[in-house]
Every structure is written in structure tokens, then in C-alpha cells.
Amino acid sequence: MNRKTLVTIHLYLAAFFAPVMLILATSGGLYLFGIKGSVEKGETITIAGAALSEEGDKVAQVKALLEQAGLDSDFEYLKERGPMMQTRPTSRDYYEIKPVAEGIEVTPVSPDLVSALMELHMGHGPGLFRILEQITAIGLVLLLITGLIIGLKSPMLKKPTVGITAAGILVFVVFAAVL
């Protein structure tokens, strides 16, 4: 593949994936700096006498339970956390569902913007966004590979590319070994 084609592919990949990568880098950076956002829990509703069966489709059971309570039953999937369940995606308003002696407790939860970005970053967003994140991961690998190839193919950039890549590998190995 000639240099012009590689540069074009590299440019298009960078331009296309830049918005998603900026969001993921920002949310990951905020998390590492201890800024994780917050959620606001609404008033818990107890549905007396209700129970979820271990048998059968839990998603259908939870949707029926939410409809019975007059709540929004639009969610994609459930995440079980011991006896408690969360409707997903958790990057938007969701519910926590917990069995109690009286029946089932349903607590509405609303994430703020930072918390919603964290949930997207961790793959807890809508199914289509999760697919976009998978495509972005492949795109980022291709972006890095094309950038390295461009640097290695250029006579003026070959030595700096090799040196900086070696330094990056060394820093990664040293920092990873310290843990």
C-alpha cells in the first residue's frame, strides 16, 4: 500500500473515531482523577405481594412488574447483582429492583452527565452504543497501526518513530512491572 493511501486511511479513521475517542478518553480520565459523577435515587415504591420467579424470562417478568406499577418499562436488559437487579442501560434513567419480605421494591435512579458517561465508557449503555464501542476499538487499533506504518515508511520519520515507540514500550513495561 502506498504512503498516500495509508495517510488517507489514517486521516479518515482519525476523523471518524475522534468524537467517540474524546468522550471515552474524557470519561476515563475523569474516573482516574476521582470524578465519578453521581446518581439521584427517587422514592422507592413497594409492590406488595409481588414476586419474581426464578423460572422463566426475568426481563418479561420485570417489564410486567413495572407496567403493573405504572412505571416506564422500556429497558434493554437486566443486570443481576445478588438479590438486586438493575434495568439497563444505566447511562440513562433506570430502576433498581429488590425483593423484600413485603414484595418487590423498585427504586428509580437518574445518573448525572458524568455518571452517564462513565456507564457508556464501561459498556453499560444502549446495545447500539456498545457495538459502536467495539467498532471504535477495532478502528483505534487500525489507526495506531497505520500511524506506525506511515512513520516507519517515511525516511525522515523512521528513526524518531522507532525511538519513540521503543520508549513507549519501555515505559509501559516498567510501569506495569511496578504493579
pLDDT at 179: 65
User: Given the C-alpha cell 417478568, which residue does it identify?
Assistant: 61
pLDDT at 83: 87
pLDDT at 131: 94
- Mean pLDDT by groups of 10 residues along the chain of 179 residues: 89 94 94 95 92 85 90 91 91 94 94 95 92 94 94 94 96 89
Q: At what angle do helices 127-153 and 158-178 cross, to 10 degrees?
A: 130
User: Given the C-alpha cell 423498585, which residue does it identify?
Assistant: 106
pLDDT at 148: 95
Neighbours of 62 (CB within 10 A): 20
pLDDT at 31: 94
Smallest Cα–Cα separation from 107: which of 43, 50, 62? Answer: 43
Q: Which grid coordinates belong to 163?
A: 525511538
pLDDT at 105: 94
Q: What is the 3-state secondary structure (H, E, C) of 34-79?
A: CCCCCEEECCCEEEECCCCCCCCCHHHHHHHHHHHCCCCCCCCEEE
pLDDT at 87: 95
Which of left, alpha, beta for 18 (phi over 0: left; psi -120 to 50: alpha)? alpha
| Domain extent listing, the chain | 3-35+118-178, 39-111
